[in-house]
Structure 1
Amino acid sequence: MRNENENLIEGRNAVLEAFRSGKTIDKLMVLDGCQDGPVRTILREAKKQDTLVQFVSKERLTQISETGKHQGVVAYMAAYAYAEVEDMLALAREKGEDPFLILLDNIEDPHNLGAIIRTANQAGVHGVIIPKRRAVGLTATVARTSAGALNYTPVAKVTNLTRTMEELKKEGLWFVCADMGGEQMYRLNLTGPIGLVIGSEGEGVSRLVKENCDLTASIPMKGDIDSLNASVAAGVLAYEVVRQRLMA
């Protein structure tokens, strides 16, 4: 079993070299109040890559550190490189298919993300889009849970999910949001260029993202609990899209 901390980089020189060598850094954690020359250089490199930066306490860094020599900086490196949203649209054009994308909001569990990527690959999804904040990145656990699908299904990380949706609408996509209060999925037309938006079990899809969706779809529930695991919900809805595309 691979440890998540295989992707942990500690110390000023190691983190700076990781940035300068072009490695994809998901998140940079810096000792709060530390603004000396080397740290400012690292922060400049992080800004160039638009890396998420968090300023944290010394206790937090010590808790994360495996070596005890973090020197005030710790970085998390992505296990896989991220794609661009345009790569996904290009893949759809190459296959002669209407774009089919999955957008994830508030998904922080790496097992959920890995399982969704695995399902996306089997359902013919052209790409998965995740936000930079409040979301898990492409960690070793995500890669392992995807069972190899991460090698074939592009994943893009974007700064603003709603802005990305607005840009994709200009490309002809429309968006359906998974929500318990929505129309039953079997009654909706889910064909054409589509973005399927999935939120977390606890919080669901955030208000702004939901407002940018064209439709809301619910999954029929016959049991005694009121929600499905996010990856299961994504699978059910993705395959309803597949079914409708095959019938069209």
Structure 2
Amino acid sequence: MRYKELTFEGRNAVLEAFRSGKTIDKLFVLDGSTDGPIKTIIREAKKTDCIINFVDKERLDRLAGTSRHQGVVAIGAAYDYAEVEDILNLAREKGEDPFIFILDEIEDPHNLGAIIRTANQAGAHGVIIPKRRAVGLTATVAKTSAGAINYTPVAKVTNISKTIEELKKEGLWFVCADMGGETMYNLNLKGPIGLVIGNEGNGVSRLVKEKCDFVASIPMKGDIDSLNASVAAGVLAYEIVRQRMA
């Protein structure tokens, strides 16, 4: 169980991290750096899913906690990522219709951790997150999941819309949460299904919503018009559970 987020600073340490196969989520490089060692590090980073950010010295100093970073800092995931195929294989091994959470740019690590926990309790086979504009598997995410991250695989993909298209070929249907949709109780959410939850502020993006087969709304009787992303995920997930058990 590895909950400690890894930070690598200094050119040799960062280069060795990449070459040894460690899972690196983000690489921060001093803007304007063009020398040979930096180019080598960037070249290694481009062989992976790592996001490369060019930042000023003040940002690097804060990330490293020191000014002796030699112009480069890498942030390693607190936990290893799975592949989408691993999630499908888990469903096959259990003899169950796939049930997958798809998260469209969730940025709050507490939300991601809570959603992973809910996914595990609801019997989902895995969670898929995007490579960019979203939180990764940080130490906070791992802790908030309350151990669920040990049992529920999380895959990171480049393009959520394309991944949905590929999973449709595997027989999955997709439902996303949106206030303008059909009341969730009126939808048939049985069978192989993907539950799409959107960004905390903007919801599900237009391109991703267009790929979904259903748009579900959650009945709300209060004075505000939205739920926290992790709460919405839980409510919809358990409607799926209820229908799967019926």
Identity across the alignment (%): 79
Counterpart for residue 227 of structure 1: 226
Q: Which residue of 2 aligns with 1:127?
A: 126
Superposed, which structure 2 residues align to 1:197-236 within 5 Å? 197-236=196-235
Residue 67 (structure 1) aligns with: 66
Residue 169 of structure 1 corresponds to 168
**What letter matches 1:120 in structure 2?**
A
Q: In structure 2, what residue type is equivalent to 1:61?
A: L
Give secondary structure in 2 for the equivalent of 1:13: helix
In the other structure, the counterpart of 1:146 is 145
Normalising by structure 2, we get a TM-score of 0.97
Distance in 2, Cα, partners of 1:60 & 1:112: 25
What's the counterpart of residue 101 of structure 1?
A: 100
State the 1:55 CA deviation: 1.1
User: Displacement of 1:50 after TM fit?
Assistant: 2.4
Does the C-alpha gap of structure 1 residues 100 and 32 become closer, same or farther in structure 2, counting only changes over 3 Å? same
- How far apart, in 1, do the equivalents of 2:6 and 2:222 lie? 40
- Check if 1:179 corresponds to 2:178: yes
**Aligned residue pairs, count:** 245
Q: Note the residue ranges of structure 2 that are not aligned, 5 or more in a row.
A: none
Partner of 1:30: 29
CA distance, structure 1, for counterparts of residue 200 and residue 136 of structure 2: 18
Q: Normalization by structure 1: what TM-score?
A: 0.96
Q: SS where residue 48 of structure 1 aligns?
A: coil
- In the alignment, the residues of structure 1 paired with residue 62 and residue 3 of structure 2 have an alpha-carbon distance, to the nearest angstrom, of 16
Residues 200-229 of structure 1 show CA distances to partners (whole Å, capped at 9, x for unaligned) of 231101111111111100101110111111
Confirm whether residue 110 of structure 1 aligns to residue 102 of structure 2: no
CA offset digits 1:69-95 (Å, max 9, x no partner): 111111110011100000010000111
1:132 Cα deviation (Å)?
Answer: 0.7
Unaligned runs of 5+ in 1: none
Post-superposition CA distance 1:25-64 (Å, at most 9, x none): 0111111121211111111111111211111122221232
SS of structure 1 residue aligned to 2:181: strand
Structure 2 distance, partners of 1:188, 1:56, is 47
